[in-house]
Chains A and B, each alone.
Chain A
Amino acid sequence: MIINHPILGPRDAQEFVYLGDAALIARPDGLAPGAQEAFHDYLYLRDNPAGLHRELWYHEQGDRSWLVVTRNTLTHEITQVELARDVARSLGRSK
């Protein structure tokens, strides 16, 4: 596969390490009430879509960017690649 890195352009997927669902960005607050339940869902409940899937890839043999790659799990077509940091900020994450 080829991942079109937002900064570096098209790179072979062999340079990357795969983590999983980009929902991992939405980490709950560990000090909030109900954190046990929230973390259970965060860590263990995943969608397994046949189709578009947003997922985290790490450019380990490259610039160490974490990317959110939107990939069709049926065809491997990649429709969008974003810096995970930008996605995290768009979700309201900060420090």
Chain B
Amino acid sequence: MTQENRISGGQIDRARTLRFSFDGHQYEGHPGDTLASALLANGVRLMGRSFKYHRPRGVISAGSEEPNALVELRAGARREPNTRATVVELFDGLSAESQNRWPTLAFDAMAINDRLSPFFAAGFYYKTFMWPRAFWEKLYEPIIRRAAGLGSLSKLDDPDDYDKGFLHCDLLIIGAGPAGLMAALTAGRAGARVILADEDFRMGGRLNAETYEVDGRSGADWALKALAELRSLPSVRLMPRTTILGAMDHGIYTALERVSDHLPAPLPGKPRQILWRIYSRRAILAGGATERPIAFENNDRPGILLAGSLRAYANRWGAAVGKRAAVFTNNDDGLRTAADLAAKGIETRVIDARKGEEVIDTSGRLGLKSVTIRTPNGTETFRCDALGVSGGWNPNVNITSHHRSRPVWDEAICAFVPGADGPPGLSSAGAAAGRLSTHGALESGAAEAEAALADLGLAAPARDLPVAEDAPIAITPKWYVSAGKGRAWIDQQNDVTVKDVKLAHQENYVSVEHLKRYTTLGMATDQGKTGNVLGLAVMAELTGRSIPQTGTTIYRPPYTPVAMGALAGRSRGQEFKPTRLTPSHKWATEQGAVFVEVGQWLRAQWLPRTGETHWRESVDREVLATRKSVGICDVTTLGKIDIQGTDAGAFLNKVYANTFSTLAVGKCRYGLMLREDGMVFDDGTTARLGDHEYVMTTTTANAVGVFRHLEFVRQCLCPDMDVQLISTTEAWAQYSVAGPNARKLLQKLVDQDISDAALPYMGCAEITLGGLRARIFRISFSGELAYEIAVPTRYGDALIRALVAAGEEFDAVVYGTEALGVMRVEKGHVAGNELNGQSSALNMGLGKMVSQKKDSIGMVLSQREGMTTANGYRLVGIKPVNPAEKLTAGSHFLEKGAAEVAANDLGWITSTVHSPHLGHAIALGYLKGGDSRKGQRLRAANLLAKTEVEVEIVSPHFFDPEGERLRG
């Protein structure tokens, strides 16, 4: 029999039937159903197993607060764990699996935990898994992780897209129940730009779940009419399926729109979800209220629901939970459930706590079978398969807490309402503000919208309130039933019981913050939406304090769980960050170059030639060919900053440790840039192109940071200097041409004379290449006779091709970053590994560059105590005593026979390469007192790589130490 518990009425489309499966069983439902309502209509009450004890659980709510009915939705790469069945919109072909059970939901082997529950009480982990320490990683954690937990990930790439978007409005209204609809009507009629967002796929809130009338028609009909009017207003945007996740600063709210979650798969070109940032001038929280249970023994059986949810399933979805119902309530709202169920022909019994009646136990392991009650007339057990429980309604204050405002206790409704110091610009209306009647919701929605309009400087329309019920809730506090020895559940998602709260109290964890962390109350994915207030009310009673004295924990964003994919948006895979391509990229791709990521750039790492099977073959060839004849390398990625103005020289004196004002026009100089703490920040060459014009180069990695730093110095420290900066990194394609034949090659292309006399070492000039404007700098990183030549970027591809063609007669090679690295280590130049942010100029052997005659950034603190000790780290060269041995970067220096402990550490290897020129491994490193250790033999030990090599300390200049080749 299908849909055995489907009853009359409801906002479902019975004309259409949807097929779906749960744990492999086939069922039918209708459009308008949620997975939970459809399962209930099919008589399925058991939907999950609890987190810790693996207790059989069913749905307890009809909304996003659901702690129990978590399922794995869909299959394959789209599998989504921990999805609340209460908010899953049914679609044809939906498949879901229960989770946290093995082998089946009805028979779960891990339910043994439930029998062992005395061992798993609050604080169990803290007390049990303390020691031995080594057991934690290998034994305890794997076992706990396997036993406790919820759904599992598919571990496949998410096939869907997630977008991010930005919206602006005058008034954001959160929640489209009676208060939200009335606020939207009021503001929309006034012409305000309104966004009305609701997490439900059907707007109307509780109006869809109730039977009372609004303005002489059903609440659901009134909601439809209001929505039709709102759709007709051009300044109003309705956003169903959209959860406001959090209140950020300055009127910004984050929202998640589930664009395609109600479909088997997103439509072509559509994202699965959109993460919105909504910029609002004012906002109204009309997010309603969440019912809370009363705790009693075995109150977690499938078939026991919140009373308001029980009637929501009957009224909105035409789904009965059972044939024989009962309602346990401490307020008048619970009586409505009984009346509505009775009207649907379901026999319903009321247990009214206000009359001294209470539920003391239940039976039915996989689903409620009977209820035992205690009344002034004695105890009684009766058959019952659906029990609604109402302990009152908690306003959904969550978002008002996002700026740390604490909710305040309202004795009249026995609940916390928003505090007065919530996010600026946010007010609350309706049940969220503690106005629990329909009239109260409509009235406060209108009033808050009018107040918002006044803030926005808009005139409010005449108030037109529909007629609606205004019954008091008539609540008498009742938190839990003291009876029996069994467990009464408070937080069903984290399996926290009244006993756990008592234990926390007994062990003096009485503050709400300690209670939360000791028992994990409210720390599950539902943030304790149903259980929190109940838990702290129990603590209040135990400590003899009032609830306001006990206080409450507060909530954080997000309001409901968010998929990581939505937070990542399009920033994943190739689009995780921008990719910058060098001007020679196309050419290098044609050559089959191997690329490496350098920050955002892709640079050629080496360019293999036919027959080369190992990267070392390519790199060795590139290095040897460059040193023998000539090599070409794309160095466009280095940062380039154009610096102009009458104070440009003085500005460079300020930002560089060495002096630049004395640099002649047409010359380049190596510059060392320090941080104010005296450590080296960056280095590069700066050329003086004119009296008031310089071009600075930075390392690739620091290009952005250096530019930011220069702007800081210019604007904040030297505001009156006549100096202007612009980044030209992208404007110029720049190639290094290095090697004994570099000049011969370039002279073929350059219109002007570039002989040693015309362009000496460290000279620079503005030139032309067949009429094309270009720049040439005679600088060298490789240690060879070398030039860097720059042309406007759009000619970069043409220039690499022209250079390669001109180089053919010299057997020119194009080399990548690996060969570049080999040559700079051979030459003893520092680079990223040495510029590690912890090293001073003195450490690098460049201490003399720091001029003491001028006030540059970092000069003063580079001389502070401890930075200048003679036995400090110094840059050294390292070679293995046995030339056949390899070196490992990160190896630490130790004296022979010294134990491998930090106290004996003398320094480390920063960079190591194989020098094809020398035929063995070489390295640079920092060594304590390195200057006086040349010729010494030490051990270079790497405890991670488990390598140890005997090394000799040498000069860092392995190649052409006198620099004769540079000046050739």
Contact = CB atoms under 8 A, between A and B. Distances in A.
Contact of B711 (A66, A77, A86, A87): A66
B250 A29 contact: no
Contacts of A83: 715
A2 B861 CA distance: 36
Interface in A4-29: 13, 17, 19, 24-25, 27-29
B860 interface: yes
Contacts of B249: 1-2, 13, 76
A19 B712 contact: yes
Contacts of A40: 861, 864
Contacts of A58: 708, 711-712
Interface string B839-864: 00000000000000011100111011
B594 interface: no
Interface in B694-751: 704, 708, 711-712, 715-721
A46 interface: no
A87 B717 CA distance: 10
Interface in B97-141: none
A39 B711 CA distance: 21
B716 A89 contact: no
B717 A29 contact: no
Given A43-B677, A65-B715, A36 B250 contact: no
Interface in B833-888: 854-856, 859-861, 863-864
Interface in A42-95: 42-43, 56, 58, 60, 64-66, 75-78, 83-89, 93-95
B252 A2 contact: yes
Contact of A88 (B248, B677, B719, B859): B719
B107 to A, nearest CB: 52
Nearest to B713: A27
Contact of B250 (A1, A87, A89): A1
Contacts of B248: 1
B708 A85 contact: no
A36 B716 contact: no
Nearest to A90: B719
B860 A35 contact: yes
Kindly name the residue among B424, B712, B860 whose own CB sees the greatest number of chain A CB atoms within 10 A. B860
Specify the main secondary structure of chain B where it touches its partner: loop
Contact of A30 (B712, B860, B864): B860
B719 A94 contact: yes
B650 interface: yes
Contacts of A84: 715-716
Specify the main secondary structure of chain A where it touches its partner: mixed
A63 to B, nearest CB: 10
A26 B774 CA distance: 41
A95 B279 CA distance: 41
Kindly name the residue among B647, B650, B855 whose own CB sees the greatest number of chain A CB atoms within 10 A. B855
Contacts of B720: 89, 93-95
Nearest to B855: A30
B861 A43 contact: yes
Interface residues of B, number: 31
A40 B650 CA distance: 24
B254 to A, nearest CB: 13
Given A17-B708, A30-B855, A31-B855, A25 B717 contact: yes
Nearest to B403: A75
Contacts of B721: 95
B905 interface: no
A43 B711 contact: no
Nearest to A94: B720
B931 interface: no
B134 to A, nearest CB: 40
A8 B47 CA distance: 55
Contacts of A85: 715-716, 719
A54 B721 CA distance: 24
A93 B855 CA distance: 15
A68 to B, nearest CB: 9
B676 interface: yes
Interface string B408-447: 0000000000000000100000000000000000000000
Contacts of B719: 85-86, 88-89, 93-94
A56 B403 CA distance: 23
B860 A66 contact: no
A95 B676 contact: no
Contacts of B704: 60
Interface in B6-61: none
A29 B403 CA distance: 42
Contacts of B708: 17, 58, 60
A95 B647 CA distance: 9
A39 B675 CA distance: 12
Contacts of B403: 75
Given A25-B716, A58-B712, A93-B718, A36 B863 contact: yes
Contacts of B251: 2
A52 B854 CA distance: 36
B251 to A, nearest CB: 8
A48 to B, nearest CB: 18
Nearest to B863: A36
B56 to A, nearest CB: 46
Nearest to A71: B249
Nearest to A14: B277
5 contacts: A24-B716, A40-B861, A84-B715, A88-B717, A95-B721
The 3 lowest CB-CB distance pairs between A and B, nearest first, are A30-B855, A94-B720, A76-B249
